[in-house]
Structure formats: C-alpha cells, structure tokens
Amino acid sequence: MSFEIKDKDLAGRIGKLRTKSGTIETPAFFPVVNPFRTKESVTVEKIREIGFNQIITNAFIIMQRLGDEAVKMGVHKVVGYDGVIMTDSGAYQLLMYGKERIRIDPIKIVEFQDRIGSDIAVIADIPTRDDSTYEEALASVEETLRRAKAVADMIEQSKTLWVLPIQGGVYVDLVARSAAAASSMNEYGMYAIGSPVTVLEKYEFWKIVDMVATAKKYLPHDKPVHLFGGGHPIIMPLMVALGIDSFDSASYILYARDGRYITEHGTYRIKELDYLPCECPICSKYEPKEILEMPREERVRLIATHNLYVIAREIRRIKEAIREGRLWELIEERARTHPYVREALNHVIKYVDWIERLDPVIRGKSRGLFLYNRTSYFRPELLRHRKRVIERILKEIESGTIRNIVLVPANTLVKPFHDAEHFKKILKDTDITDEHAILFYVPFFDIVPYDIDETYPYSQFEAPLHPEPSIINMMCDTIRRILKIAQDTQAHVKFVYASDIEDTDTCREVLEFCEVSNYIQCIKLD
C-alpha cells in the first residue's frame, strides 16, 4: 500500500492510493453499500458505471449476518464487487444506537476484517458525539487510542490498509491530542476524522472546519485522511481544500428514501420541483411528475442514482480545480449557495497562514485568478504576495536601499499595468527617473512593483472595477505603512491618486497623512 501525491492546491491534493485490489485516485468518494438490502438500492454495477471504483460496507453487520461464512467467501463475493472495498467496524451503529445496544469486540472485529480480505479497514473506535460532555469526549479519545495500540501488532502484520480515526469531536484541543498521538503510530497507513455525521446533519460546517484543520496540523502529510459521513457535495470542496482525501456516506440512498434530490448547492424535495436542474441520465429522461408516479422502490432507486451522479460530478470538478489552481474560487462559489457554507469559509480564513505553507508556489497548470470580495483577499496566492513582496519593499525602504518612491494607481482593465495610458502620461509629465521605485497600488494585491507587473498572476486576474470598501481599506492600510516608513527614513514619495480614492475613511486618512509630511508629494490625476 502506498499514497503518491500527484498535484496540489491549497491543502488539497490529487493522489494515487494503492491497495491490494487496485488504485484509487483521490479525492475519492466511497458510496456506502449494504449487501443485505437490495430492493431499492443502487446496484454495485451501477455504482461502478457512474464512476466510483471504490465502495464502503459494514463489517460489523456482515459478521452478525454471515459469521465464518463471510470469511470463506471474502468480502468481495459477499458484496458482489471486485473493486476496492473499505469496511467500517460498526462505529456508526455505535454512534447512532449507543454502547448499551451495540457491543463490538475491538480485537475480533479487526481479525474479522483482515480475514474477509478488506482492502481498507477501520479499527473499532469510540465515536465522539457532538453533544458529548468534555469528559465523555476525552474518554472516547483515550479509549480509541488504547484500542489502536492494542491491535498495533495485528495491523503491522496485515496486508490491509488500516484506518485510525481521530476523535475529540467539537473539542478541538482533544482533536489535537488525538491527532498528535495517532501520528506517531506508523502501523496505520490512513487516518480519518471521526464522528462528524451529526454535526454535518445540522449544517454546522464551521465546526467541521475546526476539527479537520486542527487534526491536519498534526497528522503526517504523506498519508491520506478520510472524512466519515461527508456525503453532500456542498461541503466537499471546502473539506478537500483543508486536506481531506476521501469521503464516505449513505446520503445518496438515505436522501432518496425521503424524496430528497441532491444538487451541488443544496437539497430539494423532488415533489416541490417542476423541473430537474441536472443533465445526468436520470434527469435527462424523466420529469419530476413521472418519478413521483413510480412505485416507491423504483422512485428511490432513480433519485439515489441521480444523487450519485451529482457527487461524482462534484469530485471531478474538485480535481480539475486542483489541477488549474482555482480550488479557492470553487469554495467561494459554493459559499454563495448557502449561508452556512459562507460561515464555514469565514472560519477557513483563520487557517489561511497554515494553508499558504502547504499551497504550491509553482504549478504545472494554472489559470488566471477570479477575485470577488473580501474572502478573495485571503486567497493564499495573495497572502504569499503580501508576505514576500510587500515585506521586502518595506525592508528596503527602512534600510535606505529605496530612497525615491512613486505610488501609482493601477488600471485593472489594462495589463500589464505599465501599459495604461494614465501611467504613460504620469511618466511624461512627472519628474521620474531610474532612481525611483515605481509601485502600483491595486485592490486585493495592495502593492505590485513595476518590475514584476508582467509576471503571474499580476497580469492574469479579473476583479471588480469597484471593490467593496473593506478591500480598498486594506490596500490603503498597506499604503499608509509604506508612507510612514518613508517619512521616518526621509525617503521621498510621489503619491499619485484618483478622485475615487477619497471615498473611504481610510483613504482620506492616507491623504491627510501625505498633506502634513515634508517628504510626500500628492499628485491628483485629471
């Protein structure tokens, strides 16, 4: 078993996860398959046809139903599927029904999964419920780690790829404790974020952001991380951006049984739809009224099939976004579809420094940036620009390397900026020499030096012509820092501005600062 990372964007990656039954390309989704409930289910043949070369099933249920017969058959024959099969130990049942009703022997369930030939398997962890007290959450962390150590020798001898769940739930200090301890257990080739199902069902996505980001900071980067219960495409781009490599869920069939129709931006009751907003084979063939008139089993199967097509499409869209370096744009698009996703993206901004360290500087395939609003300001490429370029400029002014500065507004309709007519006029009418450091000030980027304005991404982006005031204010804060250091070092500045820069309080403060300085000359554009 091995995991090879092929491409990266933000903390997300496209990888090749090799198992004994085949290779999975990540990010990947594992549809949950119950081999003993077939009347309304989507067949495994259909699941593979849709594009899923991996599934997950429940070893605890198989052991209860078939016992040693399952060992003789092997899990692939039990399920009727020759692709990669992941098995869960029954923790979901434990989470839903409690330890009073569900009893799982942690040693026997590991032995059973190994003997039935699971490709990927999960130890018998103790899930942390979202309503657990701190003491209960701590107990689930400690017991899961104790069990992981107890079966470590068995894991080391197994040909199965074993998953160690990270517990702690909404208590991020416990998640950190769990992940830090788990990262030292080299017997495990894969990790998982445990117990998010009930949080996801409540659409409390910001809590999952904290759980995933905290765990990822401690887990080794060269091993894949799975998210249990991540079954709705609305949250998948955000989770991949934080470093989740795979998901599993029965959402596609559970939603279908309730008449719920999945889209990338939310879920609808099919009885409330007049049209099906999708082009999958199901939606291209039927109208909502036709599906509603079908027998229940057929209706559920068709909606579930559609739901799988939508999930498969979103996984492909995420991969292409990673290849093009625009995963941040995709999560911004998704954030506009639901208030809770927007709230989760605002939570992601807390971790943007960590994401920037993982985000690749050089990409094999890239596309121009689309910049929208305040969240775009925190995009890692822009954060990296401000950390490296602007800090260098400030240090050079402070050290006296730069003694003469020209600050010029960029025309974002003209790229590179130095081709703009207003800039050529400034060069012609103003006393600017080779000794001047010419700095364009640009919303989102703040400051772009003249000598790099042709390089990526400064000539390869699109942004609003009239950004929201907070973007202008942050740019002006940077301008003010430059002016303050220039004044302190007695460097001479020509500050060229247009009338619209006076539209915000921060911009007016910049102009007021210029007016009282002996070293700053303000030049207003006609």
Check: CB of residue 172 under 8 Å from CB of residue 207. no
CA distance 304 to 294: 14
Are 80 and 35 in contact, with CB atoms under 8 Å apart? yes
Cα–Cα dist 336/227, whole Å: 23
Write down the pLDDT at residue 318: 97
Question: pLDDT in tens for each of the 526 residues of the chain?
Answer: 789 999 999 999 999 999 999 999 999 999 999 988 777 789 999 999 999 999 999 998 899 889 899 999 999 999 999 999 999 987 666 555 455 555 678 899 999 999 999 999 999 998 888 888 999 999 999 999 999 999 999 999 999 999 999 999 899 999 999 999 999 999 999 999 987 777 777 788 889 999 999 999 999 999 999 999 888 999 999 999 999 999 999 999 999 999 999 999 889 999 999 999 999 999 999 999 999 999 999 999 999 999 999 999 999 999 999 999 999 999 999 999 889 999 999 999 999 999 999 998 877 667 889 999 999 999 999 999 999 999 999 999 999 999 999 998 888 899 999 998 888 888 887 888 788 899 999 999 999 999 999 998 899 999 998 888 889 889 888 988 898 898 889 888 888 877 665 555 666 777 777 766 777 888 777 6
Residue 280: predicted pLDDT: 95
Helix (H, G, I), strand (E, B), or coil: what is residue 222?
coil
Could you identify the residue written with the tokens 């049942």?
93
Q: What is the pLDDT of residue 129?
A: 82
Q: What is the pLDDT of residue 504?
A: 58
Question: In whole angstroms, what is the distance from residue 129 CA to residue 197 CA?
Answer: 9
Evaluate whether 456 touches 468 at the Cβ level (below 8 Å): no
Q: Which domains does the chain have, with CATH numbers?
A: 2-358 (3.20.20.105), 370-524 (3.40.50)
- Which distant-in-sequence residues (6+ apart) come within 8 Å of 362 by Cβ? none
Q: What is the pLDDT of residue 38?
A: 72
User: pTM for this structure?
Assistant: 0.91
Which tokens is 47 given? 């699941």
pLDDT at 196: 72
Helices and strands per DSSP (H, E), number in the chain = 25, 20
d(CA 90, CA 126): 10
Among residues 114, 122, 28, the alpha carbon closest in space to that of 75 is found at 114
Q: What is the pLDDT of residue 155?
A: 92
Contact (CB, 8 A) for 211 and 194: no
- Of 7, 9, 88, 258, the active-site residue reads 88
DSSP structure string for 425-468: HHHHHS---TTEEEEEEETTTEEEEGGGTTSTTTTSEE--SS--
Secondary-structure breakdown of the chain: helix, strand, coil percentages, each rounded to the nearest 5: 50, 20, 35
User: Which of 71, 156, 145 has the alpha carbon at shortest distance from 108?
Assistant: 71
Phi and psi at 112, nearest 5°, equal -65, -45
Structure tokens at 487: 């004044």
Q: What are phi and psi of 232, to 5 degrees?
A: -115, 130
Q: What is the pLDDT of residue 101?
A: 53
Cα 526 to Cα 515: distance, rounded to the nearest angstrom: 19
Residue pair 121/59 in contact by the 8 Å Cβ criterion: yes
Element (H, E) at 279: none
Give the residue from 315, 372, 348 showing the smallest Cα distance to 205.
Answer: 348
Residue 109: both structure tokens together:
């369930």
C-alpha distances out from residue 119 to 190, 243, 492, Å: 12, 22, 67
Who contacts 11 (Cβ-Cβ below 8 Å, separation ≥6)?
216, 241, 242, 243, 354, 355, 358, 359
Strands 54-58 and 84-88: parallel
pLDDT reported for residue 343? 94
Which contiguous run of DSSP H or E holds residue 262? strand 260-263
- In contact, 121 and 114? CB cutoff 8 Å: yes
| Side chain identity at residue 364, one-letter code | G
For 182, 352, 377, 456, 489, the CA distances from 382, given in Å and listed in that order, are 34, 11, 7, 11, 28
Q: Tell me how crowded residue 102 is: count the other CB atoms within 10 A of its CB.
A: 15
User: Is 88 labeled as catalytic in the residue annotation?
Assistant: yes
- Strand pairing category for 161-166 and 120-122: parallel
